[in-house]
Structure 1
């Protein structure tokens, strides 16, 4: 590859009530509010030195505007432009100054219909890692990954590994060894993005890294004390895939957030992807309660990058839907 995608960078979510959303993300989960106005709230984790990793925008209906990846420099954007143009994908440039705190960006509808954004520059701010007096809620540290529901996981897998330079850490194999789900990374952890077989394209969740497992448990106490018990959708528990300790939440607009800790290093060039059989009950939950139907069926609608007022149409997956049996 002649371009360098570094990591998962930011997400832009449309929400109906900014104050209600801010209360959930800042007061309950402990995000740092970098800036806000009457139509935007810019949020980051305690560890993050970039201006934001989550942008909430006021809108009539909830949706996902883009999921973003940081690249090494602006020349990478030009090279990605050439690749996407060769593949016949729809591209939109956002010039410097059109988005607050972010430099020039390249937006594209990927092969699955997901709205991607690539950027090299974002304003830097004070890192709050050692401002322990500001730690509250889940003590969110940094953005970690996206999880997306797509109609054809193998198609997404082939494009991201062969064209964008992602590596696979783990995958779920269905009948005839077809890929039912895949965990792909650029940074040396389990994933920057995962693809799951399902009605898509949709964003299943955004994963945020916590420094320790007790922060996740503490988040449950805080959420319950603040009246957010019903927002806890699944967990706490441990995934078989990725080995991560997890908690899934739904924000006031239904967007799903995963609080996440405990995966592993994947930097070695001889690392071999871990295969999980679709019938292995430990793959989704190593231990913990069964996931509700909503976890398998519900996800956030995504926008068209060329016509943001339009949502991408979804379709049925190419492989059969499966709800695993869990170890309780």
Structure 2
């Protein structure tokens, strides 16, 4: 089979190419073999490939198979209690390959209302955003949430989650075209972060002009987050995708002056340290919104990327700021049997 293996970190993403590797073998009794139909391209993947992510110092050291999000079809599940051959599944781990073998605990069944491409577009983003806003940010109905980087794969989920739980949603994007999409999925107001003093625009959009209750920051703009925050508000840091590995240094007095809570959230680390039940409770909260019809997968240029060899181009488009939602690469022809898809 083919996969994109990182034998050593690359300097240019165009260096990433699929190579022939052995079919993965089960590592444990509960491992399931999945034929991959789709993979997602995320900012994390671009950092992993270049050795610029903090996890490269611990979890993601060469050699490893690149890729964090996939969907596919189970081909073998010898000892699994939850999956059978033919089941449509999605998950996250060593995704950029034609086949993947992993523990059943790392897989979820694709909801009947979603195609494989839709499930791949959501991936873990929904659970990450739910945990960020609801568990860490303690967002409540009637409060105002600011979603930074709202047009990204994480951001489009955060907008919809905040709206679904009854919050007023202010979102930031970088173009009119992206603003139109974000309004369609539920944002009450959209601000262009390229405008001068855009933080003042955000505060002016709040009911009393004092700022927002919760900031969801997946881009690494903590100083700006604090400017937009009301007294005793909460900032949840999810990532630093806009900084390309150069982490922001903030003036700590900003936190003191607003009695702000600045909270980091690492979804995967929570599961490793606090146990599977912590992860499962977050997934349950998010999937409840899915089952209620509150979540729409957002796919960029569906059908544009076909085959592992197109991943560098998809990454280039992502880093150039072209994408809205999640870029999804089709890996196998099984995608032809899927049900109706959502395209924005």
Same fold by TM-score greater than 0.5: no
| Structure that is richer in helix per residue | 2
TM-score by length of structure 1 reads 0.30
Specify the structure having the higher radius of gyration (Cα).
2
| Structure that is richer in strand per residue | 1
TM-score by length of structure 2 reads 0.29
